[in-house]
Structure 1
Amino acid sequence: MSQRYNPKSVYQERLFSFRQRFQHLEGVASRLSRWRLFSFCIFLAGVGVDLFIFFSWIGTILGVGGLILFLFLVFRHQRLRERLYFFRSMVEVNQEAIYRLERDWSKLPSRLFPPSSQGEGCLYAEDLNLYGYGSIYHLLNLPVSYDGQRILGEWISQRASLEEIQLRQRAVEELMPCLDFRQSIYAHAKRISSKDLGKVLGIWERVGDFYSGLRWVWFFVVILSGVGMGVCLLADILGLLWGRLWLIFLLFHFGISSYFSQDFQKRFQMFSRVMGDFATFVCIWREVVGLEWRSDLLKGVRRDFELALERRSGGINLLLLFLEARNAAIVQLPFQLLFLWDFYLLFWVEVYRRRLFPFYREVLQQLGRLEVLVAFASFGWDEPKRCFPSLISSPPYRFLARGIGHPLLARERRVDNDISLDSLGKFLLITGSNMSGKSTLLRALGVGVVLAQAGAPVAAEEFVAPLVELVTSIQVRDDLREGLSYFMSEVYRIKTAVELVESSEEVVFFLFDEIFQGTNSEERRIAAVEIVRYLLRKGAMGILTTHDLTLAKSGLWRDAAVPYYFTESVSEDGQIFFDYILREGFSPSRNALRLIRMVGIPLEGVE
């Protein structure tokens, strides 16, 4: 499938549009902040007039009017801040999308990769650059939540069942054209402050309910303080002398606030983070329910979000507004001294905790799955050529990759190629000189298999493959800690293929680059031929690269080998150029000596 649009142009237009809207709202927010300060000064002036003049309707009108105007402006400003944050996030999302298209790794977010998604136990992770800087994980790493990053790591390192792969493919295919939805989900998710929210909620759960053993505090505050202060203030406004008793309540409020201040501060800090993230979940839920979904996975996400949040999220934004206002000293101090509003807010907080806690873990899981599906869909939408692979679960097996390229290369640098294996017991034998593209093609095919078995699109026009056990030997290193030489490290890699082909019910697909180059040429040829022939007899299929033409043309495996090669051209001034195009047959060229001379190393006496 080829694109009929230019992703970079689309992202640039959206970047400009959201930046313009953000700058406009910044000006509006600045003016609103000044009006908010002015209204609070009116409120303070009214309180001052009423405090020092025994009976003043002017003070009452100024105080009440200023307070009402201030609260209205706080509410409006909070709503405006929500929109500002969203537009700023959308600016970042589209800028990141451009960096992702350009494969500018240094400017893409390098989020902490959870230990569980580092590919531990995944034998081909290092060979295929699945994790780390400039990796497949880095390319796909749109998930912001801890669960999203964990699930992404698991999906690209663990093969799913055919049924699960097909469910993911249908969900990703449905999400691909929904650019506004995908970017909105990412923009909202960027607001999650607690990346490992489950851990934060676990701590909050252990903190316990403030009122569980202090019911008398709540009763005392409501009856004596709340009602008493209200009655005295009303009496003072009406000019009654005893109304001045509210000053005694003021002193009492100061004492009880000081006593509970540390406990309150700890609870409010923690809950502000949690509630802010739950508010983000509510925004994401509203995005999800705003569209009708056909795929079962997306229907499941919508159902679980509705079950957890639909009847339990009412008033959450209003509570966040008050929690935000509490952080402002000019609001917190007078309201706490006059009304002890921390006790009321904390009671409200505890109500929400009891409502939401039984459901938050499922919400986190579903958010993580949705983030990964959005990441897969965004990858597919960005690709100049992409397809959803056809996976074969029963004979006859074949492997076809038409127009496949390596997704870690920017589209303008990528060269696509076609390969085909029509049955088991066959392998692709690729020859070519150094730097001609053999290893890159191996990695491209390996990444294609990984993405296909994760349920993601593949950077190819067509991709057909069986469900396979993937084995690679590409980026082999010696291991000083384990006492393994280069050759022995490679032997253990090959051993994995032999063990899998003997025990696995799935097809074994091998990718071997320059097999056994750590030993002498004669033994290398014998070992390579015998091992590949053994794997093929057991029903494996795969690809082997080499620049050893004697090994490549060995008659011992010619019936099973499908030969292809890469080559290069040499200019008149001796410069080497590679076109990275795969051709049928055996390589006619060698270039090792020429490359050595190109970097300035003299080879005297060598023609």
Structure 2
Amino acid sequence: MSKAFDYYVKTKKENEKLSQDLKKNISQISYLRLAAFVIGLFVSVYTYAIEQQVISAVVTLLWIGLFIYLVKLHDKAIQRKNFTDALVKINERAIDRIEDNWNKFQDNGEEFGQEEHPYSGDLDIVGHNSLFQWINSSATYFGRLRLKDYLLKPLKSKDQIKERQEAVKELAKEIEIRQRVNAEAMLISGQSTNPEDLIKWAERPQKEGGSLAEKLITNLLTLAFFTIIFLAIFTETVTYKAFLAVTALNLAVLYLGNKKGGPILDTIHQYKTGIRTYENIIRAIEEGNFSSQSLKKIQRKLYTKENKKASELISELKAISNLISDRRNMAYIIINIAFMWDFRCITMLSKWKSKNGKYLKSWLEVIGEFEALSSFANIAFENESWCFPDLHEEGMILKAENLGHPLLGQRRVCNNITIKDKGSVLLITGSNMSGKSTFLRTVGINLVMSYCGAPVCASSFTASIMNVYSCMRVSDNLEKSISSFYAEILRIKMIVNASKGNNKIFFLLDEIFKGTNSIDRHLGASMLIKQLSKSGASGMVSTHDLELGDLEKEMAKLSNYHFQEHYENGDLRFDYKLRRGISTTRNAMHIIKMAGIEVE
């Protein structure tokens, strides 16, 4: 296996052991916490009962302090264990990807499918058994969105692609920071990962609290509450009715303020774990010692106009969120009544938002961008024999050696391909199951990856920057009353229209016009190939129609290639190697016999 595989196995084992140690540590802290509570409470009650009030008060303060310390220690241990468990999962997934078990990954980006997209459905970019499912390591909302955009909206500029390539190359060497960010992000992947409500709050222009009147009322009501408590304890001049009156007043004011402030506090509490995670991820990115321009740009986005670090400002928001507990919790209710806590938290949140709210979305988008680049970097790290393509804005060329389909793993068979100029067409013939469609998808998916700034599955790869269009996997649409043949016509119309401008179209056509009779299929395919080539579009066409191979005599820019099969002891075998010329073999009758159909 590869160095990457060895690293993943080693890291997985180390973190599994660490997780077990942390589990024991958490259990020990739990017992200590329980003992501190029981023993401390007993001593406090006993010393008070024997009229040692001073000792009782001191003991109470000590055991409560110890208990709070152990609670925090317990929480930190749990957080560390969760982080460690996430690292175990990350390395398990990486091992599965290398061993071709990635199709069990749950996140396949199916919701990103676009029926009208030029190539997504045909090339398996998103959805089941897709490039997204194989490549994605993003766990945050914006990370998944950014990776989707990378795959479905390729870059058009050589300089932009080159810049992203440099970032991916650099991140490929930074495995620890990639896994650190990924592990942190996984801690919130199962929760409300869409931070829409948090961003809406941060970008909402109106001020939500902290006015002079609110501060005055908050402080006066708090003072009144504790004055009543003090007088009741030390002077015994205050009745319980006065205490109830002040409590009722505080509750009434809190109730009135809840309409405006309640949803805000609930939102911040909902994203409490997420805010802590965002801080940790942003700090990890800030601490990276990067040299590529793209990663440096990402880091610069994590500074405000006042040159303050995003991690420090998110930390301030985290500190406020830590003050907000479940507002239905009895302890929180008591604190709320005594200190008018909701109002104080709203004031702090309003102050933070007025200074930093406008930056929050861009910070989260930076996390997403880093995650998307890390997804590509993982692939570069795991496939050292793959190359980063050499891309050109001029011409329409494609030359690749040992080109394979990235998703086929150990079943992959590689081939070479050369397309020299605009208008060039490769006509691929071959019998059933020989590899024609897979080869078209191989070329298409590697072109897409090259324009994303990712490595490609080839030993060398040179290409012009072109717009990829495909017509390979069409089906009927009962809801729209569209037959499969008409759906194919609509798809081809899209490609023809795109080729009419100076759009540098690279097309992939698989068994076109198969929904009609053989005469019309042949004529239609011939006319389409000629028209696309004449318009300057280049591409590949797979077909069973061997007569289309005669176009090579008419079209100087059309070249025939084929796949073939052979038989071993009566069994059908394929080598999936691309050969020059037109196919001369057939296997349909053999396959029909295999299906149990009697052939006369």
Normalising by structure 2, we get a TM-score of 0.88
Q: Give CA deviations for 1:409-459 in whole Å, capped at 9, x if unaligned.
A: 2x2111111111122232212111100111011011111111122222212
**What one-letter code is carried by the residue in structure 2 that aligns with 1:8?**
F
Identical residues among aligned pairs (%)? 28
C-alpha contact 2:108 2:132 (8 A) present in aligned 1: no
Matching residue of 1:270:
267
Residues of 2 paired with 1:316 and 1:348: CA distance? 9
Matching residue of 2:171: 175
Q: Which amino acid letter does the alignment assign opposite residue 369 of structure 1?
A: E
How many pairs are equivalent? Answer: 588
Match of 2:506 among 485, 504, 509: 509
Cα separation, 2, equivalents of 1:388 and 1:227: 72
Cα distance change on mapping 1:285 and 1:555 into 2, 3 Å:
closer
* Map of 1:593 onto structure 2: 589
Deviations 1:372-393 (A, max 9, x none): 1111111222336422222111
The residue type equivalent to 1:119 in the other structure is Q
Give the 3 Å change call, closer, same or farther, for CA 545–143 of structure 1 in structure 2: same
Aligned to 2:531: 534
Moved more, 261-270 or 553-562: 261-270
Matched, 1:156 2:151: yes
Q: How does 1:189-208 map to 2 (within 5 A)?
A: 189-192=185-188, 193-202=191-200
* CA distance, structure 2, for counterparts of residue 25 and residue 353 of structure 1: 37
- Comparing 557-566 with 62-71, which one deviates more in the overlay? 557-566
In the alignment, structure 1 segments of 5+ residues that lack a partner are: none
Q: What does residue 223 of structure 1 align with? A: 223
Deviations 1:129-149 (A, max 9, x none): 122121122223322222222
Kept after mapping to 2: 8 A contact 1:201/1:274: no
CA gap of 1:75–1:428, structure 2 versus 1, over 3 A, is same
Tell me the equivalent position of 2:30.
33
Distance 1:401 1:339, change over 3 A: same
Distance 1:475 1:299 in 2: 41
CA distance in 2: counterparts of 1:223 and 1:482, whole angstroms: 69
Q: Distance in 2 between matches of 1:127 and 1:458?
A: 18
Q: Contact (CA 8 Å) 1:204, 1:270: kept in 2 or not?
A: no
1:198 is displaced (CA, Å) by 2.7
Q: CA offset at residue 585 of structure 1?
A: 2.4
Question: Relative to 1, partners in 2 of residues 1:333 and 1:471: Cα closer, same or farther, differing over 3 Å?
Answer: closer
- Counterpart-to-counterpart distance in 2, 1:551 and 1:408: 31
What's the secondary structure of 1:156's corresponding residue? helix
CA distance in 2, matches of 1:348, 1:562: 70
Q: Decide which of 549, 552, 566 is 1:552's aligned counterpart.
A: 549
Secondary structure of the structure 2 residue equivalent to 1:27: helix
**Other-structure match for 2:401:** 402
Assess, with a 3 A threshold, how the Cα gap between structure 1 residues 336 and 200 changes in structure 2: closer, same or farther: closer
Further displaced range: 435-444 or 423-432: 423-432
**By how many angstroms is 1:265 displaced?**
6.8
Residue 469 (structure 2) aligned to one of 465, 468, 471: 471
Distance 1:77 1:417 in 2: 57
Distance 1:244 1:25, change over 3 A: farther
- Within 5 A, what are the aligned runs for 1:423-502? 423-502=421-500
Measured after TM superposition, the shift of residue 566 of structure 1 is: 1.2
How far off its partner does 1:473 sit?
1.4
One-letter identity of the residue aligned with 1:439: S
| 8 A Cα contact 1:46 1:60, kept in partner | no
Q: 1:436–1:578: 8 Å Cα contact kept in structure 2?
A: yes
In the aligned structure 1, how far is the partner of 2:10 from the partner of 2:52? 61
Q: Give secondary structure in 2 for the equivalent of 1:472.
A: strand
Conserved? CA contact 1:253–1:336, under 8 Å: no
Residue 578 (str. 1) matches residue 574 (str. 2): yes
Q: RMSD value over aligned CA atoms?
A: 3.3
CA contact (8 A) 2:222 2:338 kept: no
Letter in 2 for 1:359: Y
CA contact under 8 A between 1:471 and 1:508: conserved in structure 2? Answer: yes
Q: Secondary structure at the match of 1:312?
A: helix
Q: Which amino acid aligns with 2:183?
A: A
Q: Aligned to 1:509, what secondary structure does the other structure show?
A: strand
- Determine which of 69, 72, 75 is the counterpart of 1:75: 72
Change (3 A) 1:249 1:104: farther
Distance of 1:25 and 1:251 partners within structure 2: 49
Map of 2:86 onto structure 1: 89
2:415–2:578 contact (8 Å) kept in structure 1: yes
Alignment of 1:140-151 (within 5 A): 140-151=135-146
Q: Distance in 2 between matches of 1:252 and 1:38?
A: 37
Q: Deviations over 1:228-279 (max 9, x none)?
A: 75x679xx6xxx6659999976995588459747778755442123343222
Query: How far, CA to CA, are the matches of 2:541 and 2:506 in structure 1?
Result: 11
Letter in 2 for 1:360: L
Q: Is the 8 A contact 1:391 1:465 kept in 2?
A: yes
Q: Please state whether the residue corresponding to 1:306 is helix, strand or coil.
A: coil
Distance in 2, Cα, partners of 1:587 & 1:384: 35
Contact map agreement 1:11 1:97 (CA 8 A) in 2: yes
User: Paired residue for 1:378?
Assistant: 378
Do the aligned partners of 1:118 and 1:153 also contact (CA within 8 Å) in 2? no
Supply the AA of the counterpart residue of 1:402.
E
Deviations 1:518-571 (A, max 9, x none): 222233222222221222222221111122222223454453222222111212
Q: What amino acid maps onto 1:67 in structure 2? A: I
With over 3 angstroms needed to count, the CA separation of the structure-2 counterparts of 1:25 and 1:311, relative to structure 1, is: closer
Question: Is residue 2:130 matched to residue 1:135?
Answer: yes
1:126 is aligned, of 121, 124, 127, to 121
Contact 1:48 1:59 in 2 (8 A): yes
Q: What's 1:209 paired with?
A: 208
Alpha-carbon distance in structure 2 between the residues aligned to 1:51 and 1:352: 45
Once structures 1 and 2 are overlaid, which stretch shifts more, 550-559 or 341-350? 341-350
Cα distance in 1 for partners of 2:412, 2:126 equals: 21
Deviations 1:200-233 (A, max 9, x none): 432577696355573344112443335775x679
Q: 1:56 offset after TM fit, Å?
A: 0.4
Match of 1:285 among 267, 282, 286: 282
Q: 1:44 to 1:546 in 2, by over 3 A?
A: same
Q: CA deviation at 1:191?
A: 2.5
Q: Which of 2, 7, 26 does residue 5 from structure 1 map onto?
A: 2
Q: Distance in 2 between matches of 1:354 and 1:111?
A: 38
Alignment of 1:36-115 (within 5 A): 36-41=33-38, 44-45=41-42, 48=45, 56-105=53-102, 107-110=104-107
Q: Distance in 1 between matches of 2:244 and 2:45?
A: 15
> For the Cα contact (< 8 Å) 2:279–2:315, is it kept in 1?
no
The one-letter amino acid paired with 2:194 is D
Q: Structure 1 length as normaliser, TM-score?
A: 0.87
